[in-house]
Amino acid sequence: MTNYSPYIFRIQRYSIHDGPGIRTTLFFQGCPLRCRWCHNPESHGRPERLPEGEMPGLVAGLVREIEKDLIYYDDSGGGVTFSGGEPLCQPDLLAALLAACREREIHTCLDTSGDAPAAVLERTAPAADLVLYDIKAVDVRLHERITGKPSDRILENLVRLEGLGVPYRLRFPLIPGYTDSGENISEILDFLVAHTTCRDIHILPYHNTAEAKYRQLNMTPPRITTPPEPAAIEAAARRFRDCGFKVTIGG
Ligand code: SF4
């Protein structure tokens, strides 16, 4: 089997935070963003270029890994989640895996930041059963300050996803000092109410479990060290609920 680690840096089994039921999560190498609180800094390298002719072997090997957990998917209504990093950074591999899973009737989630060319989203998202779409900020400068990239393309792609008719759910990382201001939440709500119909949002409170990982990689850990207080989580949840959203805390 082709070594998958330059393309998929981790396979996590029995995940209950990455979509419905019990799931196997494949973490794709590569991400265009640099969120100040990133939990997966090992994804920040560039994915290697797959040598010509090796795609079928890589996909077959990964599908074998995915199929090892079929019994858990069937019992729990779960499946496989393609996460990262940013899976849209490797569109050919993602498209091949989505197609292989659909052929086998394995439920798929695409977990994305949305920062990708429109053509990549249009090619891959309709092949997923559910998209988990992150929204971190609307204000262009705030988004750039906290993730390294402006928000325009991400917001345009969210509207595009809506137009494609692909089922999706929203995810809002609640990060003290970065995304948790009342103003940011108001701007997100205004945008969502004006441009989307999805009213299912998962609030993902910051947790500091990645610090050890940063040290292992000789990288400076994020400056935030304290997860949001329960009262702050509840206050954010109430803002979304008041606008008609079904709110879930966590993945
Ligand atoms: S989008 Fe995700 S993987 Fe990429 S930098 Fe942000 S938190 Fe990290």
Q: Mean pLDDT over residues 90-115, rounded? A: 98
Residue 31 beta carbon below 6 angstroms from any ligand 1 atom:
yes
Q: What would the pLDDT profile of 156-193 be if each residue is shown by its tens digit?
A: 999 999 999 999 999 999 999 999 999 999 999 999 99
Question: What is the spatial distance between Cα 74 and Cα 46, in angstroms, rounded to a whole number?
Answer: 34
Delineate the domains of the chain, giving CATH numbers in brackets.
Answer: 8-249 (3.20.20.70)
Q: Each residue of 139-154: pLDDT tens digit?
A: 999 999 999 999 999 9
135 lines ligand 1 (CB under 6 A): no
Beta pairing partners, 86: none
Is the pTM value of this prediction over 0.75?
yes
Q: Is the dihedral of CA 196, 137, 20, 118 positive or negative?
A: positive
**Closest-lying ligand 1 atom to the alpha carbon of residue 134:** 1
Judge if the beta carbon of residue 179 lies within 6 A of ligand 1.
no
Cβ–Cβ under 8 Å, residues 77 and 40 = no
Please give the distance, rounded to the nearest whole angstrom, from the Cα atom of residue 6 to the centre of ligand 1.
17
Model confidence pLDDT, tens digit, residues 128-137: 999 999 999 9
Note the Cα 248 to chain centre separation in Å. Answer: 16
Backbone φ, ψ for residue 135 (5° rounding) = -130, 120
Q: Is the pLDDT of residue 2 over 70?
A: no
